Structure 1
């Protein structure tokens, strides 16, 4: 069974992990956290979590995952906490930044099975959602998106422990908001399970078209299929293409760089590479020809721009995310003809955003643990 640590004593944690020690230096606003710094809050959250009936009923592996997520949930308050001009203390964006840090820790420092890691990462990302969801104008979409990304029943347990593990005057209101979140998840048929869509195209349409209905099923009228790879340098994307699409034309950004003698570290040159690749893609799309787009595509913004281009030509987009263990990644990168410097690979690791299930018509996770 995976565990972030077998020794859950706080003194052991702070001795072994710098990011745990950092919590002791991060203040919190006394209005919402009169208990003190982030370390005090985190310890209270861990205690509250273990006392919850719902937590005690979970399988042992799920308990370990949820405990680890609770330990990590405020990890990036250290980099986002600021003293406002009105005297208050805020940490805007700590959940989003904590997502990247949690993934980096669980990939590079504490090797974690992919599905478990991503569940914990998304628990960190969405841990405040049960409290703030009811204030969103697009409430239904927020609830449904959350359910696709993370187990909402586990998320509610984390949020409840987060609310109980603090000293504040509005604790009753926080717990009431979490109760409403649970009720809404049940109403939208996504309590403890992702929202079900009738077809992959229906899911893609819902998340990529404003004011769409989750029950709407669009007509599948695709002209061609585009297979878009996503993965860090050395993950094995070229090998995947050879194994599964060796007879398809491939747009490979590394090949374009080599052909035009452009280094991977040349930022202006990379823009030229992408433009050349897009022109080639348009030629295939106009001919309604299947093809593979082979590049790192590690950020959601980068992938979204490409998906938008492909969909404009009525293509069916299959997004394939490829991953290998961290040590294997560096070893395979060194063996590549277009090797990327190790420090550059680690920088990309820190920016990695694993594709969400709704980013394309079909999303495949090709993982070698």
Structure 2
């Protein structure tokens, strides 16, 4: 059952602000969190979030959007700043770089230390607004200059929080992926002007946006500006209008509507090589299809259902299982996993050399975890067919507890807090698998590929 806050957002109109304040899991820490007085004179991140949600509903053309795109933008509005509390730094303005980030230069750090020492003679240090153990303390610097609040990387961290939070709330995996993308990208359009590497960004977002598109992202960014009190709001809105023209022009140059549609890659191999920087700077190139092994790459928490899925669909395939290797080597989940990883890759490479189709059964929850695996497969010209078991944490936890050798709960919690979605530059195809083992294709099978999904090896 979906929680009240998710039902309210997806109700088809503006979410109830009182209900959201009471039930949205991230609201309490956003309320009272410092916000930069120059760019957010309206108040804390929660005040800003509610203003953005209202501005979005009032935006030109919003009511005419399909319901799924309205829902995507509404969810993005409520999630786009959830990571600001954990990324907050308060600095004295002279110690800011030109881009607004805190200065880390040796000279400035010396000046800061000397200034702090002098200040402490007259007043005690004031620790930050949030005393929660899992968050860093932030020092409030008071002087004749202005205090400034920076919250760098809140978009990337907020995207991860949105992905995990929505999956755990029982949200549709496609929607959760799309909210992840919109949240991750929401600061980028206003900084596109004068950038010489826009083409790759335009293409990447057009592919990863799923049900959304560039028009939706810019529409949200405009609401993000209208839902604040800022000295440069009008200038940023003008920059966003120019960004819209830039994306439209990039599409017109190839006869495509990139504001509303993804880049028309010739096939999955072309997409993967271009987005991984392996296909040069020309996205028009039609790459040859992978000639090596077809590899099933699983991703999911312990207990999520990876073993069951493989047994139901790929039982006749060779399966490289980290759990099985760990068991054979007598290594527990809390021990050093170096030898387990080494043996896993020995078996993977042996199969890749034969060109035989096989499956890899491991958690592969983060991009870092998957990089070595996907890189190894692609080095052997393999075809990556990824299956992400996207079930709520509560489901994985219950299933794990009923296993003969369950993963310790503290380990499971740490793994759950590392989950990241598989993106379009990590696999040729991606399917999401829900708790009932139903499949939903996320991406893959571009127009010139005639591949029928089959659980049987070719």
CA distance in 1, matches of 2:415, 2:341: 18
Q: 2:152 aligns with which of 92, 96, 104?
A: 92
The answer to whether 1:28 aligns with 2:35 is yes
Shift of 1:104: 2.6
Q: 1:319 aligns with which of 386, 392, 416?
A: 386
1:299–1:352: 8 Å Cα contact kept in structure 2?
yes
Shift of 1:38: 1.3
1:3–1:64: 8 Å Cα contact kept in structure 2?
no
CA distance in 2, matches of 1:222, 1:345: 37
Provide Cα deviations, 1:204-227, integer angstroms capped at 9, x if missing partner.
111112533111111225122222
Q: Secondary structure at the match of 2:31?
A: helix
1:54–1:157: 8 Å Cα contact kept in structure 2?
no
Provide Cα deviations, 1:129-164, integer angstroms capped at 9, x if missing partner.
221233543211111111222222221221010011
Aligned residue runs from structure 1 range 134-149, under 5 A: 134-149=193-208
Higher-Rg member (1/2): 2
Shift of 1:358: 2.6
The answer to whether 1:287 aligns with 2:354 is yes
CA distance in 2, matches of 1:291, 1:101: 33
Query: Which residue is equivalent to 2:377?
Result: 310
1:4–1:68: 8 Å Cα contact kept in structure 2?
no
Query: Which residue is equivalent to 2:171?
Result: 112
CA distance in 1, matches of 2:370, 2:260: 28
Aligned residue runs from structure 1 range 6-45, under 5 A: 8-45=15-52
Q: 2:224 aligns with which of 162, 167, 170?
A: 162
2:35–2:44: 8 Å Cα contact kept in structure 1?
yes
Shift of 1:4: 4.2
CA distance in 1, matches of 2:22, 2:392: 26
Q: Secondary structure at the match of 2:417?
A: helix
2:83–2:157: 8 Å Cα contact kept in structure 1?
yes
Q: Which ranges in structure 1 are unaligned for 5 or more consecutive residues?
A: none
Higher share of residues assigned helix = 1
Q: 1:177 aligns with which of 239, 261, 274?
A: 239
* TM-score of the superposed pair, with normalisation by structure 1: 0.92
CA distance in 2, matches of 1:4, 1:106: 14
User: Given the superposition, is the C-alpha separation of residues 341 and 206 from structure 1 closer, same or farther in structure 2, using an over 3 Å criterion?
Assistant: same
1:254–1:338: 8 Å Cα contact kept in structure 2?
no
Query: Which residue is equivalent to 2:181?
Result: 122
CA distance in 2, matches of 1:62, 1:158: 11
* TM-score of the superposed pair, with normalisation by structure 2: 0.75
User: Given the superposition, is the C-alpha separation of residues 212 and 335 from structure 1 closer, same or farther in structure 2, using an over 3 Å criterion?
Assistant: farther
Q: 2:288 aligns with which of 188, 206, 219?
A: 219
Query: Which residue is equivalent to 2:342?
Result: 275
CA distance in 2, matches of 1:235, 1:192: 35
Query: Which residue is equivalent to 1:249?
Result: 318
The answer to whether 1:77 aligns with 2:137 is no
Query: Which residue is equivalent to 1:345?
Result: 412
Query: Which residue is equivalent to 1:101?
Result: 161
CA distance in 2, matches of 1:253, 1:133: 43
Q: Which moved more, 1:93-102 or 1:83-92?
A: 83-92
1:227–1:319: 8 Å Cα contact kept in structure 2?
yes
User: Given the superposition, is the C-alpha separation of residues 315 and 8 from structure 1 closer, same or farther in structure 2, using an over 3 Å criterion?
Assistant: closer
CA distance in 1, matches of 2:292, 2:353: 9
1:159–1:178: 8 Å Cα contact kept in structure 2?
yes
CA distance in 1, matches of 2:390, 2:49: 31
CA distance in 1, matches of 2:86, 2:179: 20
Q: Which ranges in structure 2 are unaligned for 5 or more consecutive residues?
A: 94-146, 252-256, 437-458
Q: Secondary structure at the match of 2:315?
A: coil
Provide Cα deviations, 1:168-197, integer angstroms capped at 9, x if missing partner.
222222112222232233333322222221
2:304–2:435: 8 Å Cα contact kept in structure 1?
no
Q: 1:203 aligns with which of 262, 268, 271?
A: 271
Q: Secondary structure at the match of 1:321?
A: strand
The answer to whether 1:3 aligns with 2:7 is yes
CA distance in 2, matches of 1:359, 1:221: 14
User: Given the superposition, is the C-alpha separation of residues 290 and 92 from structure 1 closer, same or farther in structure 2, using an over 3 Å criterion?
Assistant: same
The number of equivalent residue pairs is: 366
Provide Cα deviations, 1:99-147, integer angstroms capped at 9, x if missing partner.
1222232222x32111122222222211112212335432111111112
The answer to whether 1:67 aligns with 2:74 is yes
CA distance in 1, matches of 2:166, 2:245: 32
CA distance in 2, matches of 1:202, 1:26: 44
CA distance in 1, matches of 2:377, 2:67: 44
**RMSD of the TM alignment (CA)?**
2.1
Provide Cα deviations, 1:255-302, integer angstroms capped at 9, x if missing partner.
011011111122x2x121111110111212222222211101011111
Q: After TM superposition, what 4+ stretches of structure 1 lie above 4 angstroms from structure 2?
A: 4-7
1:131–1:177: 8 Å Cα contact kept in structure 2?
yes
1:4–1:64: 8 Å Cα contact kept in structure 2?
no
